[in-house]
Structure 1
Amino acid sequence: MSEKTNQPLRICMISYRSNPHSGGQGVYIRNLAKALCELGHEVDVLAGPPDPLLEGAARLIPVETLDLYNPEALFRTPRLDELKDPVNLMEWIGTSTMGYPEPFTFGFRAVRHLKDQLHKYDIIHDNQSLSYGIEKLSRKIPTVATIHHPMTVDRRLAVRSVRAPWKKFKHLRWYSFIGMQKRVSRKLPKIITVSEFSKKDIAREYAIDPSRFSVVPNGISTELFHPMPAIPREPGRLIVTNSADMPLKGLYHLLEALHRVSLTHSVRLTVIGKAKEKGGIEKLIKKLNIAHLIDFTGRIDHHQFVREYAKASIAVVPSLYEGFGLPVGEAMATATPVISTTGGALPEVAGDAALLVPPGNSNALAKAICSLLDDPEKRKQLGAAGYNRVHEHFTWKNAAEKTVETYREVIRDYR
């Protein structure tokens, strides 16, 4: 391990599933790894599919898994030769019984890959797998983990969102990995989290002493998310970047608000992504008869994503809870005026540069949308304030520097 406190560190980041285009964890690993390398550190990223599309000098070490959540072959049946591997067998059985075993099994895969490689690194940084394998590695090398927000919140909201007992059981089974994550996180020397709100919630939900946390806000990729003044904003065009049926993301409430707004205003909603076939979002759209007001983009590349922001008059973040709130920061970076709920840490990101409403309140959301549609000067003011706030407070360079401070503290204490 490195002996001088100012010399470059050799870092192994572990990320079990890190889609670089959706989900805060994927965005986090891609951008933090790049920023750490730009500070002069060496970074290897041990990752399962999909490819995190690393940039800069960060090196990807791909880990083969069954990849049962690949949308191109969702829940495929593994070949018999694949199931000869005990880890693969555990993963398949867990998935087949309505569980989500990837964090658990990826820990074993990480131990395998690093068995004879630990001497190459000064520290391991786990990206919220919090698996038993990570605990095992932490006994041999300085280890830190990032927890973006407590998954107990996701579980609670998911269970509350359904009435049928079998559906409640299904959600409880899916989130059964949480027990492991609680136990492992209590044994790690340091936890990085992305907001003060997340720190308080994780400390309470996982029974971890608050003194063991290091709060490092995420950055926003301003080279990727930026204004495009040559593209005119379309009057009445709203944008939301989450199409998931997850109750946590609040899209249901935005659709109800959209219906109310359409009664008095000319409005359209761009949804980045697509709705789950025969899922709750699709059913609600039919019930409200608002399909003609909504454009689902499906999968789009990043350039088109930013163009959609440029065309929008307002970005809406209807989440019931966010551990940080990347959608708010990314929208503000494009100078798009933002309406956000106060769910979780969203106010920490938005500050006074967005219109804030209570989470889960479609009436309040509708009123905020109407008021902003009727006030072009306010939209201009919020767009400029959001852009400035991101550039002043949320850069990946800042995030990387604070993360390195935590690394050095953990390494020093380990010795």
Structure 2
Amino acid sequence: MDADTAVQDYAEASVREDRIRPLRVLVTGYRSNPHVGGQGVYIRELTRSLRDLGHNVSVASGPPYPELDDGIELIKLPSLDLFAEDNAFMALRLRHLTSWADLSEWLSHNSGAFGELYAFSRRLERFLAREGDRFDVIHDNQTLATPFLRINRRVPVITTVHHPIAIDREYALAAGGKWWERALTRRWYHFIGMQARTARQLPRLLAVSQAASDSHADHYGIDTDRVRVAFNGIDHDIFHPDAAAKPEPGLIVTTASADAPIKGLDVLIDALARVAAARPLARLHIIGTLRDGPAKQALAAHGLSNRVTTSSGLTREAIAQLYRRAHIVACPARFEGFGFPAAEAMACGAAVAASNGGALPEVVGDAGLISTAGDAASLANDLARLLDNPEEAQRLGARAAIRAREEFNWSRHALAASRLYAEALAERSPNA
């Protein structure tokens, strides 16, 4: 069964069932900044929708902390925040020696590993030892650290999975570099083994796409029978068409949170180079910061630097306006567990040219063009097709807006989560 059918069947079945019983839900995330990546967006929107279903919702997070609606409690679990330190090695204090969470984070960071996931879950475990009776269920956002197995014995844990970070490691290693650079990459991603072991043992997972479920099965060995699939939603109050906004001929918009191989920015730059010479209006706007690195070097090598602009720190409203102005929104990632930029651009009525990386074909459906991930020539063909045929771009944008409205709904996602909560509690107590 494909993801669209699964979500639709589940939503219809849910309507026939009794009303959701309100629960005390603790949503957890080791980092929850809503302006950097999708983690904070997910927590903000999930908690809002869970509250609207009648649940009493709290959030436990490490820094940077989330932005939450009124009435949703924020429980701060401070980390050492070593990335903000000028000298992380000198950040250790005597009090940290009494906390394995603090000490493990310091040791990991200063030996080239990423230790925040494990350290956060240890702090959460300690908090729940004091106050765990306040909550009926824990809903974690893909921390997948081993302490969650112990937490699950005390309070049922449901975990959302987006995409396995093992894929990021594969692309980072494939990018090459010196032997010691590859060794440092392996050390940084050392936590992947922990996540795989934890994912295999947690009893219930909520995947944001069929690709997210399948890729966790492939890379982490999870049993897909334990996975419920429900698309993410988007904020339709912000991301929607506006008849007053007219697409600007030639304007290609993309979102690049990082200049990393998995994001496919290098593929888009190569594709732009292939179509730009014959199309003087073709230009690229990147939502993100373009630091010195491979992408910037590629733009210079292709002579495209004067055709590219960037913006960062934008409000969601400003991003929506960019999507409405775009002739094309390009989503060239080699893998996405869902793909918020594609879904949000579609909701604004933009013509989307996406790769077939991960969940993007599920998200785009028949409302956009799909090229082969990592293939610049394939993406260039789609860009040229839409640049040369603005009427087709307009038709696809109109179809995309309808699809986004029908498929990407946070209430539906929160309802899927709520059914998992009820199943977990019923399994532990027939009277739950």
- What TM-score bracket applies, with the shorter chain setting the length? over 0.9
Q: Which residue number in structure 2 is paired with residue 193 of structure 1?
A: 207
For the 8 Å contact 1:229–1:310, the answer to whether it is kept is no
Q: Which residue number in structure 2 is paired with residue 270 of structure 1?
A: 285
Residue 251 in 1 paired to residue 256 in 2? no
Give matches, 1:69-108, under 5 Å.
69-70=83-84, 77-78=90-91, 80=93, 83-84=96-97, 85-108=99-122
Structure 1 position 69, deviation (Å)? 3.5
* 2:298 equivalent among 284, 296, 303: 284
Secondary structure, in 3 states, of the residue corresponding to 2:159?
A: strand
Identity of aligned pairs, percent? 37
For the 8 Å contact 1:332–1:386, the answer to whether it is kept is yes
The alpha-carbon distance between structure 1 residues 313 and 411, as it changes in their structure 2 partners (threshold 3 A), is same
Structure 1 position 289, deviation (Å)? 2.2
Residue 181 in 1 paired to residue 185 in 2? no
Residue 41 in 1 paired to residue 41 in 2? no
* 1:332 equivalent among 346, 355, 360: 346
Structure 1, residues 174-231: CA drift from partner, whole Å, max 9, x if none? 1110111111112211111111122122122212222111112111111121223323
Q: Which residue number in structure 2 is paired with residue 214 of structure 1?
A: 228
Give matches, 1:332-411, under 5 Å.
332-411=346-425
- Tell me how far apart the structure 1 counterparts of residues 140 and 381 of structure 2 sit (CA, whole Å): 42
Secondary structure, in 3 states, of the residue corresponding to 1:306?
A: helix
Alignment RMSD (CA, Å): 1.9
Query: Structure 2, unaligned stretches of length 5 or more?
Result: 1-17
- Tell me how far apart the structure 2 counterparts of residues 77 and 362 of structure 1 sit (CA, whole Å): 45
Q: Report the TM-score when normalising by structure 1.
A: 0.94
- Tell me how far apart the structure 1 counterparts of residues 275 and 198 of structure 2 sit (CA, whole Å): 46
Structure 1, residues 268-315: CA drift from partner, whole Å, max 9, x if none? 111011023x32222222222211111110222222222222221110
Secondary structure, in 3 states, of the residue corresponding to 1:115?
A: helix
Structure 1 position 60, deviation (Å)? 1.4
- Tell me how far apart the structure 2 counterparts of residues 309 and 75 of structure 1 sit (CA, whole Å): 39
- Tell me how far apart the structure 2 counterparts of residues 136 and 329 of structure 1 sit (CA, whole Å): 36
Structure 1 position 111, deviation (Å)? 1.0
Structure 1 position 128, deviation (Å)? 0.7
- Tell me how far apart the structure 1 counterparts of residues 394 and 20 of structure 2 sit (CA, whole Å): 44
- Tell me how far apart the structure 2 counterparts of residues 291 and 229 of structure 1 sit (CA, whole Å): 32
Residue 66 in 1 paired to residue 68 in 2? no
The alpha-carbon distance between structure 1 residues 368 and 77, as it changes in their structure 2 partners (threshold 3 A), is farther
Q: Report the TM-score when normalising by structure 2.
A: 0.91
| Number of equivalent positions | 410
- Tell me how far apart the structure 1 counterparts of residues 320 and 95 of structure 2 sit (CA, whole Å): 40
- Tell me how far apart the structure 2 counterparts of residues 104 and 148 of structure 1 sit (CA, whole Å): 18
- Tell me how far apart the structure 2 counterparts of residues 299 and 280 of structure 1 sit (CA, whole Å): 22
Secondary structure, in 3 states, of the residue corresponding to 1:178?
A: helix
- Tell me how far apart the structure 2 counterparts of residues 223 and 203 of structure 1 sit (CA, whole Å): 35
Query: Structure 1, unaligned stretches of length 5 or more?
Result: none
* 1:20 equivalent among 34, 37, 41: 34
- Tell me how far apart the structure 2 counterparts of residues 82 and 222 of structure 1 sit (CA, whole Å): 47
Give matches, 1:97-246, under 5 Å.
97-246=111-260
Structure 1 position 22, deviation (Å)? 3.2
Q: Which residue number in structure 1 is paired with residue 44 of structure 2?
A: 30
Residue 305 in 1 paired to residue 305 in 2? no
For the 8 Å contact 1:243–1:251, the answer to whether it is kept is no
Mean Cα displacement is larger for which, 61-70 or 193-202? 61-70
Structure 1, residues 373-411: CA drift from partner, whole Å, max 9, x if none? 111111111111111001111100111111101111111
Give matches, 1:310-321, under 5 Å.
310-321=324-335
Secondary structure, in 3 states, of the residue corresponding to 1:275?
A: coil
Structure 1, residues 145-166: CA drift from partner, whole Å, max 9, x if none? 1111121111111110123212
Secondary structure, in 3 states, of the residue corresponding to 2:130?
A: coil
- Tell me how far apart the structure 2 counterparts of residues 329 and 283 of structure 1 sit (CA, whole Å): 29
- Tell me how far apart the structure 2 counterparts of residues 216 and 73 of structure 1 sit (CA, whole Å): 41
For the 8 Å contact 1:127–1:146, the answer to whether it is kept is yes
The alpha-carbon distance between structure 1 residues 36 and 248, as it changes in their structure 2 partners (threshold 3 A), is same
Secondary structure, in 3 states, of the residue corresponding to 2:155?
A: coil
Mean Cα displacement is larger for which, 78-87 or 135-144? 78-87
For the 8 Å contact 1:10–1:123, the answer to whether it is kept is yes
- Tell me how far apart the structure 1 counterparts of residues 88 and 347 of structure 2 sit (CA, whole Å): 37
For the 8 Å contact 1:195–1:348, the answer to whether it is kept is yes
